[in-house]
Amino acid sequence: MLYTLARQALFQLETEMSHHITLDLISAAERLRVLPHLIPEPELPVELMGLSFKSPVGLAAGMDKNGDYIDGLASLGFGFIEVGTVTPRPQPGNPRPRLFRLPQHQAIINRMGFNNKGIDYMCERIEASRYSGILGINIGKNFDTPVENALDDYLICMKKAYRLASYIVVNISSPNTPGLRSLQHGESLKRLLDGLKNEQQRQAGQCMRQVPLVVKIAPDLDEAALDEIAEALVSCGMEGVIATNTTMTRPGLEGHPLAGEAGGLSGAPVYDLSNRVLGGLAARLEGKIPIIGVGGIMKPEDALHKMALGASLVQLYTGFIYEGPALIWKIVQALQKQNPLPE
């Protein structure tokens, strides 16, 4: 009830403004130690990629692009947090307005464009946080870096993020950076992943620990592209894959006044598209690489279905905005009923 009232008030504001106000309020509540009294901390431990997750329900990248709100978001009950997408250099992203709510469809359209303060700033914020749980760092390329030089940008971010990250996500699927999705295909994909894998081994030697590399893919891939990606993930030795990012299509939005807005669509309308990719990828990977399922999780049954399709972990973004922290607890409860903790 409390979150429903807060959401009604915040939804009266301009979308991007309400996003930042919400995060500021969450951070303030965490600093005042209010949240532990209001929100239970669900636990359902999962071991994956050599990491120990408090629960399989995490926060997807995009909510906290710079690592400014890690402590506050972690206090809401997530089993792990992912920050970013971050780029080597700061960049403003696309002009506003660039974020649109579609409440009747439980959806969001965004064309943020990797707006962030750069990897150096993010590293400072992570070092200043008190969070000790699993932290993913989602990396990308600057908008003005040619696609053929994208590896250079990913390497810059990876080298600086490595010592602070529990895992690193290679975002090659945002629809809001021109040419980025071309990195999901052919020799461009293998060259990128091979280059990152080589750097991972160098960093592992220096830091004395292996930080898993995870690739985030789009929901708009056809069957041939899924064949290609699955083969590249295995052959290049990636430790995980996130399925999926937002979609460029507009399923179920026919006639909606915002349907023509450019950007990626998230929330309930992407659920079936994301599940098609998740299931297809799981069939191709045959358990060789774990999958993190994200896209359209609005209720516990959605998360359970993604796990039935082959996901080992799930992440929330749009569902969290519409349903609030209670969704985390409800999903963990549903999973506990399926797999109760030992007495």
| Catalytic sites, residue numbers | 174
Residue 343 lies in a domain: no
User: What is the band of 111 on the pLDDT scale with cuts at 50, 70, 90?
Assistant: very high
Higher pLDDT, 2 or 171: 171
Share of the chain above pLDDT 70, in %: 96
Indicate whether 29 belongs to any domain. yes
The token pair at 260 is 């023509």
Q: pLDDT band for position 92 (50/70/90)?
A: very high
- The pLDDT tens digits for 280-323 are 999 999 999 999 999 999 999 999 999 999 999 999 999 999 99
pLDDT digits (tens, 9 = 90+) for 71-87: 999 999 999 999 999 99
Q: What is the domain count for the chain?
A: 1
114 pLDDT band, cuts 50/70/90, is very high
**pTM: predicted TM-score of the whole model, two decimal places:** 0.95
User: Is the residue at 52 inside a domain?
Assistant: yes
What digits encode the pLDDT tens for the residues 30-56? Answer: 888 876 656 667 789 999 999 999 999
What is the predicted pLDDT for the residue at 32? 84
Considering the domain boundaries, does residue 96 fall inside one?
yes
Is there a domain that residue 342 lies in?
no
271 occurs within a structural domain: yes
- Give residues with Cβ within 8 angstroms of 25, minimum separation 6: none
- Count CB neighbours of 10 within 10 A: 17
137: containing domain: 2-337
Q: Domain holding 103: CATH number?
A: 3.20.20.70
Q: For 189-200, write each residue's pLDDT tens digit.
A: 999 999 999 999
In the prediction, which pLDDT does 3 show? Answer: 72
* Rounded average pLDDT over 94-104: 96
The pLDDT value recorded for residue 30 is 85
Whether 245 is in a domain gets the answer yes
